[in-house]
Amino acid sequence: MEWDDHDARSADAKIIPLAQLALGLVLLAAWEIIGRTTGGLWTSQPSSIIVRLIKLAGGDLYWHTLITTSEMAIGLAIGASLGTVVGLILGYSSVLGIVLRPIVVVLYNIPLITLVPLFIFWFGFGMLPKVVLVSIAVFFIVFFNTFTGATKVDREMLQSVQTMGANPGEQFRKIYFPACLAWISAGVKIALPYSLGAAIVGEMLASRNGLGSLLSSSAAQFDMTGVYAVLFILMVLGMVLADLAVRLETFLLRWRHAAG
């Protein structure tokens, strides 16, 4: 029976990817047929999108992708760093947490997209307003995760190591930060796709460069093939980010696997 179960699981592991591939091909074929039948004004068609992707790849696609990923990377680094530091401080100090956390919550409730005109007024139309937008989006996600993790640190354990003579720096390195690290990494993992979304929104509203500007210009011209081509690129970029998020979380929490 054990061998039968093992064989069944192995068969499922082979059949499921094939079934998924077959379903994808069927959907693409149906999309192609609908596009050719209707003229593809609103739906376009996969063959046209492939041709457009090849054309974009031979042009300035790499430059636009570099702009978007640069905005993401810089904003992510700034927002995650600030969110981690502020979350740790407010979580560690109960007084500061009580006083300042409501202010952070109030700021968080401001729709981020409404701040874009203000950032444009302050920072112009270059890369900076998009970086600020990404930083703010990432900051709140990482902050709330870090703050929650910091408030859940075992205070009795901290008091125990304190009575054993550990100074505040040792308490932070050996107890406080390791206990919060899983929450921080989860916050960064969640923030990664949001950083892409924030960069794209900023580029759509105020930019002549980046994937968001390509998407906005295609939509303005009712170029559905261009819209779907950029959406495909964003989908691939999102999948890469999801994989990077898993790898980053594994790297940050590698000590857990070593301890196990």
Residue 119 has what pLDDT?
82
Mean pLDDT across the chain? 82
Q: How confident is the model at residue 76 (pLDDT cuts 50, 70, 90)?
A: very high
Say yes or no to pLDDT of 22 above 80: yes
Distance, CA of 165 to CA of 176 (rounded, Å): 16
Give the Å distances, CA to CA, from 253 to 88, 143, 188, 196, 250.
18, 19, 13, 24, 5
Percent of the chain with pLDDT over 70: 85
**Residue 81: per-residue pLDDT:** 93
Q: 249, 239 in Cβ contact below 8 A?
A: no
The residue whose two tokens read 């046209």 is 48
Give, in degrees to the nearest 5, the angle at Cα 194 between 130 and 203: 30
pLDDT for 1: 45
Q: What does the pLDDT average to over 176-182? A: 79
Checking if the pLDDT of 75 tops 90, the result is yes
Is residue 212 predicted with pLDDT exceeding 80?
yes
Nearest to 186 by CA among 249, 135, 134: 249
pLDDT in tens, 189-207: 889 888 999 999 888 887 7
Confidence of residue 13 (pLDDT cuts 50, 70, 90): low
Judged by phi (left if over 0) then psi (alpha if -120 to 50, else beta), residue 223 lies in beta
What average pLDDT does the segment 51-76 reach? 90
Dihedral (CA of 102, 105, 110, 115) sign = positive
- What's the average model confidence in pLDDT over 137-164? 81
Question: Which of the two residues, 42 and 12, has the higher pLDDT score?
Answer: 42
Predicted local distance difference test score (pLDDT) of residue 186: 86
Nearest residue to 187 via CA among 110, 71, 82: 82
Confidence of residue 134 (pLDDT cuts 50, 70, 90): very high
CA angle, 213 as apex, 41 and 123 as ends, to 5°? 155
The reply to whether the predicted model has a pTM over 0.95 is: no
Side-chain half-sphere CA neighbours of 69 within 13 A: 13
The closest alpha carbon to 202, from 213, 218, 191, 214, belongs to: 213
User: CA-to-CA distance for 184 and 84, rounded, in angstroms?
Assistant: 7
| Cβ burial 215-234 (10 Å sphere, 16+ → b, else e) | bbebeeeeebbbbbbbeebb
Distant-in-sequence, close-in-space partners of 153: CB < 8 Å, separation ≥ 6: 91, 175, 176, 179, 180
Residue 116 has pLDDT above 70, yes or no: yes
User: What average pLDDT does this structure show over 44-65?
Assistant: 89
